Structure 1
Amino acid sequence: MITTRTGDLGGFLRSRRERLTPERAGLHPGTTHRRVPGLRREELADLAGVSVGYYTRLEQGIGTGASTAVVDALAAALRLDPAEHDHLRTLAAPRPPTRPRTRRSRLRPAIRDLLAALPGTPAIVIDHRADVLAWNPLGHALLAGHLDPAAPDAPQRPNIARMLFLDPHHRALYRDWHAKAQTTVAALHQAAARHPADPGLDRIVGRLAVDSPDFARLWARRPIRTCAHAVRELDHPVVGRLTLANETVTLPDDDQHLGLFHARPGTPDADALTLLARSATP
């Protein structure tokens, strides 16, 4: 299960401290034997300009948060990239207690109309839990032609993370499965930081950790990255190999994401999408 928000802060700090070698941090490794390759707590505290006791309390989940100055100092000492730095800010920011978020995400009618207005572009909308809220016919044919197209309106919605790790048909679609898996797990980690009181998200991650060893290993590594665009190499069961640009548009008012796939005009990939669109037309 997902840990508490404070526990996530400590776990994230520990994971980044343990991956940072003294050489990369600009420290002399010394001659004493190290049981682990990463930095010691006292070394990181010294680099960040905080006391060892204060840093230890943060990592152990005893602290209640950290100021912006401390977060920025820790991010610099840990050599975090911009996405990881933003994630650390989210984890460390104080928040009042929140009621559990239990309601299902809703799709705005305007977004549903937008999907219908893109008949030649595969499109899908997912929420922060990776639940599929809607897809247009071509998006369904590209990503999940083996599933009922009406599934987003069913009580048990399809979930992109579950499909990626547990559905062999969807998993086989991605020739770059490992890259897609890392970005999916990273997105769930970032969603857990934004929604620390979401039992639905807890259940999804908990079941995946039990049912998929691949997911459990990736989740423990705490990958954090921003992936607004990518090139996807696909093996489609109907039209064969495809190379598509995948653009992800964030819908911030709803904490949802619109995924779009497209091919360069005049290419065999574009021809394959046209063929797939014909097969998807009722």
Structure 2
Amino acid sequence: MKHKVMFGPAGSPVNYKGAAYKAPKYIKEEGLDSYEYQSPYGVRIGEKSAKILKEESEKHDILISMHGPYYINLCSKEEEKIKKSLNHLIATARAGEWMGAYRLVFHPGFYSNRKPGKAMEISKNTINQLFEELEAEGIEEFTFAPETTGKRSQQGNVSEIIELCASFDHFEPTVDFAHVHARGRGFLNKKEDYNCIFSQLEDNLDIDILHCHFTTIEYGNGGEVKHHTLAESNEYGPDIKDLLANLIDNGWRANIICETPLRDEDALKMKELYESMI
């Protein structure tokens, strides 16, 4: 039986040389549990390859999620960018359905000098359009997972992600703890600092499994600057041990996707630490 907390890389393992859609066997042999397929610059995987990824993930018991394009902006001031964002989300949902992705991760957008409340209103209108278009396309198997964002100019603090997920079916949060840390200019320094995140999640959403991202991160006044390895934790936060202690103490089921430059190698370090703590 799997542990309550699973671990996997954001993208193909560092030393893996094969096709991304055939990575689950390699990931399983490393001792990991999950895999976030990356489509940051547009959805380029075809139906045949996506279905092979699904077969491989089922064969090797690897939980698949998918990260959609970076170009998505639900609250853009430009109608053309809204339209393009919808197309990116539809392409993500279609490919996600083929590959059996349990979460479709995306960054919601940018405030663009508007008040957060107005940006949220526009985002919700865009999501309503999205559902209409998905229904017209016949796409039914999807769970979008808007992600907490790392820059203060972006829509996507914890409260905003919770509001989006509480407002729509087929929406579950992605909590990127490094982004929360960077956006708060070093907010997560000890175990107790996570309490307000988990209490908000518990009070507002019914989450079966929490989809997470984690990396050590460098930040500035505007938020996120650069991802770093776990080995650099003494210089940059947050500390993975504090997150794991919270998940263990509160009995959370979670899937932690590692986004350090050493994504699979550091995911294994996370898993080894977790197993030493339970």
Instruction: Select the structure that is richer in strand.
Output: 2
Q: Same fold (TM over 0.5)?
A: no
Bigger RCO (CA 8 Å, 6+ sep): 2
Give the TM-score of the pair, scaled to structure 1.
0.26
Which one has a bigger Cα radius of gyration?
1
Give the TM-score of the pair, scaled to structure 2.
0.27
